[in-house]
Amino acid sequence: MRKLTIPDIVAKKANGEKISELTAYDYPWARIADEAGIDIALVGDSLAMVVLGHESTVCVTMEEMLHHTRAVSRGVSRALVVADMPFGSYNSSIPVAIENATRFLKEAKADAVKLEGGVNMAETVQAIVRAGIPVQGHIGLTPQTATSLGGFKVQGKSAEAAQKLLDDAVALEESGCFSIVLEAIPAPIAALITEAVQIPTIGIGAGKDCDGQVLVSHDMVGLFDGFTPKFVKQYTRVRGQIVDAVRQYIKEVETSDFPGVEHSFTMREEEMEKLKKLQ
């Protein structure tokens, strides 16, 4: 199957086709998302919370993100792989940002990187894009700086805040982003931004008028037992099924019902006889 490219993703907006994006943090999830036909596999820094058990995304490191991105890249044959740049890997200076973004492509075979910020990150985005690395922007609720935003809250609710989001989106487009994630913003504002820019907008808690949608995989299948935001739709609840399966396994180990003969290896009678004589 042919691998999707940046122009394929951008063309979807022009053709009026929606874009599907989902987080993947490891090889099995990459295989599942790819087999199902996802357009973009995002190695989100949300892995800090849903995979590594941290309280926020801030502490995940470059080495951890590279490790997971490598596994995802090995698992896809069609989807575009976007790697989230962790907090601190692009904020200190442009040369550091270029160096770290380059590592995702060279060492982990990502196709693009994602970073959080709007007007304040425009120069950094431009420099990374000029270095030949496609960038997905991320505005609205930006989890890495959620504390400064007053917590995990819907953004852009006042006219002034909405105008700032529009300015952020335009600045990211002018800087060369190939798409922008819009997180937790009122649907009418996401619709305005989507109309204002030529590049695709990918919504998460931003309504149906975005050019595509992204969800955290562990949330959408009910695998994560922490807080589930209002904008998440749980398509299934696998956690309960897995807990039941593990409980059943424990019970069968305790009662010796597992393993059965069908899970065991046998030996030829004559070899057993020989063994008895050797003893």
Q: Which residues are known catalytic residues?
A: 183
The owner of tokens 């959080």 is: 116
Q: Which of residues 117-146 bind ligand KIV (CB under 6 A)?
A: 138
Amino acid code (one letter) for 250: I
CB closest to ligand KIV, residue no: 44
Q: Enumerate residues 6+ apart whose C-beta is below 8 A from 239.
A: 222, 223, 224, 225
Comparison of 204 and 210: residue with beta carbon closer to ligand KIV: 204
Q: Does 211 bind ligand KIV (CB under 6 A)?
A: no
Using rule CB under 6 A, residue 84 touches ligand KIV: yes
* Closest separation in Å from C-beta 84 to ligand KIV: 5
Distance, in Å, from the CA atom of 223 to the CA atom of 242, rounded to the nearest integer, reads 9
Q: Mask 93-112, x = binds ligand KIV (CB under 6 A)?
A: --------------------
Structure tokens at 274: 């020989």
Residue 185 touches ligand KIV, criterion: CB under 6 A? no
Nearest CA to 214 among 277, 161, 149, 141?
141
Determine, following the binding rule CB under 6 A, whether residue 204 of this chain makes contact with ligand KIV. yes
**Which CB sits closer to ligand KIV, 12 or 87?**
87
Q: Which range binds ligand KIV by CB under 6 A, 44-52, 61-69, 149-157, 168-176?
A: 44-52
Comparison of 40 and 253: residue with beta carbon closer to ligand KIV: 40
Taking residue 240's Cβ as centre, other Cβ atoms within 10 Å add up to 11
The span of 3-11, 38-46, 150-158, 227-235 binding ligand KIV (CB under 6 A) equals: 38-46
Which of residues 12, 13, 22, 23 is near ligand KIV by CB under 6 A?
23
Separation of alpha carbons 48 and 152, rounded Å = 16
45 touches ligand KIV by CB under 6 A: yes
Give 132's Cβ-side CA count (13 Å radius): 6
Which secondary-structure segment (H or E) carries 84?
A: strand 80-84
Q: What tokens were used for 50?
A: 């849903």
Q: Which helix (H) or strand (E) holds 102?
A: helix 94-108
Q: Which two tokens stand for residue 156?
A: 């852009």
The residues, ordered by sequence, that sit 6+ positions from 54 with a Cβ below 8 Å of its Cβ are 48, 60
By CB under 6 A, the count of residues binding ligand KIV is 11
**CB 58 → ligand KIV: shortest distance, Å?**
12
Contact present, 142 and 149 (Cβ < 8 Å): yes
| Residue 214 binds ligand KIV (CB under 6 A) | yes
Which of 33, 216, 221, 223 touches ligand KIV (CB under 6 A)?
216
Identify which of 68, 94, 92, 97 has the alpha carbon closest to the alpha carbon of residue 82: 68
Q: Of the ranges 39-47, 58-66, 68-76, 263-271, which one interacts with ligand KIV (CB under 6 A)?
A: 39-47
Between 51 and 162, whose beta carbon lies closer to ligand KIV? 51
Where do contacts with ligand KIV occur on this chain (CB under 6 A)? 23, 44-46, 84, 138, 181, 183, 204, 214, 216
